[in-house]
Structures are given as C-alpha cells and as structure tokens.
Amino acid sequence: MDSPFHCVADLGALLGESPVWEAERQTLRFTDINGKRLHRFDPQSGRIDTLDLSEELGCFAPLADGSIVAAQRSGIYRMAADGRRELLATNPETFPGSRFNDGSTDPRGRLLAGTIDPERQGRAALYRFDRRGLEKLADGLMTSNGLAFSPDGRTLYHSDTLRYVIHAYDYDLDRGAISNRRVFAQLTPTDTDHGRPDGAAVDAEGCYWSALYQGARVHRYAPSGELLASYPVPAQSPTMPCFGGPDLKTLYVTSARDGSSDEQLAAYPLSGGLFALRVDVPGLPKTFFDPEA
C-alpha cells in the first residue's frame, strides 16, 4: 500500500497511544497502553528510551518540572521520571475493565481524560482534573477518545469511538465546562471498512486530524466538519496523531497491533509502529499541566 507516512520506529506496540511532543527537548513521548510502557523517541538520533509501568497508562500531560500527570487504570497520578508516583485522584468507576484512556490538557493547563467500558454498556465518561479535583463532564460513553481543542480553545472535540461519532462542544475556558454538544462528524461502518475515530489533534488552521482505528488512515476535517483529506497509514489501526518537530510540521501517528487479525497483520506488518508525515500546516503547541489551574 502506498502511504505518505514512513515508519520512524518499528516498535510493535500492543496499543501505542497518546503521543506528546516535548518542545523543550525536541522529543516525542507516547504510551503503549496494553504493553504498560512509556516511550520517549528522539527523532535526531532515532533513540527510544522506555519506562516500564505497573499498570496501563491511558494518557498523560507533562508538568514544567519534567514530571507528568498520568491517567492510569486505577486513577490519576503525579509520576516522576523514574516511575515513582503519587495518587491525585482515584478512578471513580467500579465496573470491570474501566480505565482511563485518551486525554489532553486544555489551554489553561487542566487535564481532560475519558474512560472505556469494555463491556460496551455505555458506562464510560469524560472527566476534568484540576486543582478542584476530578469532575465528570459527560457520561453514557463507550470509549472516550479524540480530545482536541480549536486554536482559540473555545471548541472541544471529542469522539466516542465505538459509536463512530465525533462531537463538538462549546468550551468555557474560565470554568473548564462544556455545553451545546453537536455532531461534528458521523462515520458509517461498512462490510469491508470498520475505521472508527480514535485519537486526534488540531492544526493551526483549526482543522481536526482523526486517526481511524481499524481504518488504516487519518482524516483531516475542516472546522465545519467537512472531510478535506484522507491519508493512508501503513498500519491497520492508527491510534492518535500529534504535531512535532521544531516547526510543528511533522505529524506523528501512533498505532496498535492488538485487535488486528493475522490476515491484517500480514497486510500491515508495521502495525504497532510510530509513523511520521511532513505537512504544510503546523500544529498547535501543547500546554503543560498546571496544578493551579
């Protein structure tokens, strides 16, 4: 398959996710959720440093001191570089298999992170974590994903992957509150294509880039919701894009091996790798988590 993406790290990640560009170090950090690992990739040297974790890490947000706020299976932690952690908030969900999944900081430095419901009963939710603690913003979800903000921070995008839908909300920057949910894009599975919206990022023009899990491609949507372009990825299940590089014009995409059949892995042997694509429009810089937000 011809793809504009090239593989920069053939990791074989079980569930690569949550790439975050570290501008001050010019490195990319990302998690392998099912592999219980946190990776750091240096594009200049190609070196990958890996931290083994005690439980799954769904998403994370850097702090200015080099530590991270980590949304894991059992809760949200402050984690040092060596993996030592301090519990900040317990996962309030008690149903089997619940864990934190995709997340992102808002422009003020709060963490928004959602959960998954493996039994597909719509019990997952989207939460905000800040100095006030953990607060539920939306519920009734299957798999919370696709968190990204418009350039002005006043629109929040969010997907419910197993329902094939991407929503947009009005976002109150002062309160960290959402309102006015509407459908931004609705995908429809077919007999041969089950691509569904996973992680996402927004570029400087306000366009929303969505990785299609089991769809082997990344979509770029206009702020209106119009599909502008579709880019094939040499992995069956791309999971999340992230803008990086000195000019934020390198689009990195994580991917997964888990969930793919033997036939799919034969067709996409690089599944689980990290991919890169040079783009014309830069992304938006990520905000550090701010404990005082």
Within a domain: residue 175? yes
What is the domain-level CATH number for residue 121?
Answer: 2.120.10.30
Tokens (6 digits) for 33: 């959720």
pLDDT of residue 2: 85
283 part of a folded domain: no
Contact 11, 32 (CB under 8 A): yes
Report the pLDDT averaged over residues 162-191: 96
* Tokens coding 233: 């990825």
- 279 forms beta bridges with none
Per the annotation, the verdict on 160 as an active-site residue is no
**pLDDT of residue 253 exceeding 90:** yes
Domain that holds residue 245: 6-278
Is 1 a domain residue? no
Residue 185 lies in a domain: yes
The Cα–Cα gap between 175 and 26 comes to: 32
The mean predicted confidence, pLDDT, of the chain is 97
Alpha-carbon gap, residue 66 to 209, rounded angstroms: 27
Domain membership of residue 284 (yes or no) is no
Tokens describing residue 126: 């989207």
Which burial class, exposed, middle or buried, applies to 65 when counting CB atoms under 10 A from its CB (0-12, 13-18, 19+)? exposed
- Residue 290 within any structural domain of the chain: no
pLDDT (tens digit, 9 = 90+) per residue, 194-249? 899 999 999 999 999 999 999 999 999 999 999 999 999 999 999 999 999 999 99
Has residue 208 been placed in a domain? yes
- AA identity, residue 169: Y
Smallest Cα–Cα separation from 231: which of 195, 283, 191, 204? 195
Does pLDDT of 192 surpass 90?
no
How confident is the model over 86-142, as pLDDT tens digits?
A: 999 999 999 999 999 999 999 999 999 999 999 999 999 999 999 999 999 999 999
The catalytic position among 106, 160, 198, 203 is 198
Does 277 score more than 80 pLDDT?
A: yes
Residue 1's pLDDT is what? 61
| CB within 8 Å of 256: residues ≥ 6 apart | 13, 14, 15, 16, 17, 34, 213, 235, 237, 239, 271, 272
Counting the structural domains of the chain, the total is 1
Measure the CA–CA gap between 170 and 43, rounded to whole angstroms. 36
Which amino acid makes up residue 194? Answer: H
Asked if 256 contacts 15 with a C-beta cutoff of 8 angstroms, the reply is yes
| β-pair partners for 114 | 126
Distance of CA 178 to the CA centre of its chain: 19
The answer to whether residue 287 is domain-embedded is no
